[in-house]
Amino acid sequence: MSYPETYKFTREHEWVHPHGAEAKIGITDHAQHELGDIVFVNLPKVGNSVKRAETFGSVESVKAVSDVYSPVTGEVTGVNDLLAQKPETLNEDPHGEGWLIKVTLTSPEELQALMSSAEYEEYIKAE
Amino acid sequence: MLATLGMQSEEDLIAYLPPAVRFNSRLSMEDGKSEFEIVDYFKERAERNANGYASFLGAGVYNHYRPVLVDAIVSRGEFLTSYTPYQAEISQGILAAIFEFQTMVCQLTGMEVANASMYDGSSAVPEAAMMAVRVTHRDRILIARAVHPEYREVLGTYTHRQHIPVEELAYEKNGRLDLDDLKAKLDDHTAAVIVQSPNFFGLIEQIDELSHIVHGKGALLVVVFTEAVALGLIEPPRHADIVVGELQSFAISPSYGGPFAGIIATHEKFIRQIPGRLAGETTDASGHRAFCLTLATREQHIRREKATSNICTNQALLALMATVFMSLYGKQGMRELAEQNLAKAHYLADKLPLAFDAPFFNEFVARTNGKSPEQINAALLDRKIIGGLPLARFYPELENCVLLCATEMSRRQDMDTLAQAFAKQ
């Protein structure tokens, strides 16, 4: 799977897709592959705030739980309810239908500190 | 081995123990006794125990019959010395038994999911409270004063360190939960309301009615039971969000206070918040029905400090005793057992002045009218009868009140003797 050029990436394998004052956040294909079959996703509620580099939820496979860290600071405006019914969506389409939350961007300059898709692909090759 | 540890002698292994806690004298037994003389010595002293006495004590630990088949089954090597069933391939027997246990607990309590057992009823209460805190994201607990006093103490041990305020709810004149006090103290910060039924005084609480009040404020209702036999007759607490309790009544010997086995049961929607072990049903690689431990991602070996609890075990052998008990009695037998308990307790209660006027199961509070409970109990002990629990120690306002329990094991002549002891002025 390719890593979209319009996305930014973290060292903890989250992606953020900004559009205007908002952004979608999810985990990368590399992350879902490492986790294995995902069975449960624990997400915040609309209205909660998220902070850069702090956990906002977790993703569970059969044998492991992974905290998910927010790439940016903001307020949750949307939560992907599909994942409650079909957590496997996160394995099938991690960059698209498997998005986790939508947030408003409080400090858009935070995006500059994140990796581009090319940088991320280099990063995971090295891992 | 000592050399590997860098030590000189066995004494070095316990060098860290402070002198104050060491036993430095000799055992108080004459030297030179043979093995059978020593065994005899202890047998003689054991004779001084109240073997064969009739008991009217309840208060969380009950005198019920233990069918002989229970020990015959649990003492089988496959059960007695089996390890924790982490490795499903070699543990299908114990896992199947745990699955049956969980299923029966759900049937008894009216809940949808139950775990593989807790340490006991008392520790299951704070586990339910913590669960409610996690589920509701609120941080206050209300607990009825008519919940077992020691259960309330155990709750305090957990909540004190978690900085969760606990407030107690009064009981009414009739011994049941004071619903006005509940309404006054319940608010949007209440995570759970904890109620026992039958309560410590033996009285049956109005679970349906108070569940509406509790749910109206978005709090969870936790229902506790100490006398599992009651569930053979009383409506299961279906309106509860979490049910916890003690299974000692189901073929677990009173044994000087333990070990016992507790339960926690709840609705499917809370399954990821339940603490402890869960056995699940699945299929193996050949498509056959099989069992395994499941939803381990709740537990601390995976989630560490974010785990639902620090309990990472269950009371397997004791839960198995309870499972055998439930299988032996079955639905019909459990009902008959409960009916006998009800009948005996009411036979006795009819002869005594009661403190509370509300429906009860096999326990009730009697007034002593003049004599002290201790005097009455001393007189009964001479007749080889263990009387009830004087309540003043836990409820100072209930001086000269005694908590009495009659079960299927209570004999009519002993109940008559006890009634006479109360009547004599």
Contact B272 A65 (CB under 8 A): no
Residue (of A97, A123, A1, A115) closest to A41 by Cα position: A97
Which DSSP state fits B236? Answer: P
| Torsion over CA: B46, B52, B53, B58 (sign) | positive
Residue B112 one-letter amino acid: E
Q: How many CB atoms lie within 10 A of CB B295?
A: 19
Say if A60 is an interface residue toward chain B (CB within 8 Å): yes
Mean residue pLDDT of chain B comes to 95
Q: How many CB atoms lie within 10 A of CB B309?
A: 22
Chain A residues whose CB is inside 8 A of the B303 CB are: 65
Q: CA-CA distance, B195 to B147, in Å (whole number)?
A: 6
Secondary structure tally for chain B: helices H, strands E: 14, 14
Burial class (CB in 10 A: 0-12, 13-18, 19+), B257: exposed
Chain A residues whose CB is inside 8 A of the B306 CB are: 65
Mean pLDDT computed over B68-82: 94
Residue in A with minimal Cα distance to B302: A64
Q: How many CB atoms lie within 10 A of CB B184?
A: 11
Contact A63 B302 (CB under 8 A): yes
Any idea which of B19-33, B96-110, B318-332 has the lowest mean pLDDT?
B19-33
CATH of A24-108, one of 2.40.50.100, 3.20.190.10, 2.40.110.10, 3.90.1570.10: 2.40.50.100
Phi-psi domain of B275 (left: phi exceeds 0; alpha: psi -120 through 50; beta: other): beta
* Extents of the domains making up chain A: 24-108
Secondary structure tally for chain A: helices H, strands E: 4, 9
Say if B86 is an interface residue toward chain A (CB within 8 Å): no
What's the pLDDT band for B220 if we cut at 50, 70, 90? very high
Contact A63 B297 (CB under 8 A): yes
| Torsion over CA: B113, B119, B120, B122 (sign) | negative
According to the model, what pLDDT value does residue B46 have?
A: 93
According to the model, what pLDDT value does residue A104 have?
A: 95
Contact A65 B297 (CB under 8 A): yes
Chain A residues whose CB is inside 8 A of the B272 CB are: 40
* Cβ under 8 Å to A: B residues 268-327: 272, 296-297, 302-303, 306
Say if A65 is an interface residue toward chain B (CB within 8 Å): yes
List of residues 6+ apart from A88 with CB closer than 8 A = A37, A38
DSSP B245-284: EE-TTTT---GGG----EEEEE-GGGGGG--S--EEEEE-
| Torsion over CA: B255, B122, B266, B168 (sign) | positive
Give the tokens for residue A63: 């044998």
Q: Report pLDDT digits (tens) over B274-306.
A: 999 999 999 999 999 999 999 887 887 877 887
Q: How many CB atoms lie within 10 A of CB B218?
A: 14
Residue (of B248, B231, B230) closest to B104 by Cα position: B231
Whether B334 has a pLDDT exceeding 90, the answer reads yes
**pTM check: above 0.95:** no
ipTM confidence: 0.71
Phi-psi domain of B38 (left: phi exceeds 0; alpha: psi -120 through 50; beta: other): alpha
Residue in A with minimal Cα distance to B296: A63
CATH of B68-324, one of 3.40.640.10, 3.90.1150.10, 3.40.50.720, 2.40.50.420: 3.40.640.10
Q: CA-CA distance, B151 to A3, in Å (whole number)?
A: 56
Contact B302 A64 (CB under 8 A): yes
Residue (of B231, B228, B246, B250) closest to B74 by Cα position: B250
More confidently predicted of B256 and B70: B70
Residue (of B279, B277, B241, B281) closest to B262 by Cα position: B277
Q: Report pLDDT digits (tens) over A88-107.
A: 999 999 999 999 999 999 99
Q: Torsions phi, psi of B357, nearest 5?
A: -115, 80
Whether B362 has a pLDDT exceeding 80, the answer reads yes
Strands B401-405 and B363-367, sheet pairing: antiparallel
According to the model, what pLDDT value does residue B425 have?
A: 55
Contact B302 A40 (CB under 8 A): no
Residue in B with minimal Cα distance to A63: B297
What's the pLDDT band for B313 if we cut at 50, 70, 90? confident
Q: Which fold has domain B54-66+330-423?
A: Aspartate Aminotransferase, domain 1 (3.90.1150)
Selected residue of B273, B297, B306 to mutate for chain A interface (largest A Cβ count, 10 A)? B297
The reply to whether B68-324 shares the fold of B54-66+330-423 is no
Contact A63 B303 (CB under 8 A): no
List of residues 6+ apart from A30 with CB closer than 8 A = A13, A124
Q: Report pLDDT digits (tens) over A61-88.
A: 877 889 999 999 999 999 999 999 999 9
Residue (of B143, B139, B136, B345) closest to B224 by Cα position: B143
Phi-psi domain of B186 (left: phi exceeds 0; alpha: psi -120 through 50; beta: other): beta
Strand partners, A26: A15
Cβ(B209)–Cβ(B181) below 8 Å: no
Residue B99 distance to chain A (closest CA, Å):
20
What's the pLDDT band for B309 if we cut at 50, 70, 90? confident
* Cβ under 8 Å to B: A residues 31-50: 40
Chain A residues whose CB is inside 8 A of the B297 CB are: 40, 60, 62-65
Three-state DSSP class for residue A17: strand
Sheet holding A74-79: strands in order across?
A: A8-9, A14-19, A22-27, A101-105, A74-79, A49-50
Q: Report pLDDT digits (tens) over B373-424.
A: 999 999 999 999 999 999 999 999 999 999 999 999 999 999 999 999 998 7
Give the tokens for residue B286: 């050949």
Cβ(B257)–Cβ(B106) below 8 Å: no
Q: CA-CA distance, A101 to B382, in Å (whole number)?
A: 73
Cα-Cα end-to-end distance for chain B: 70
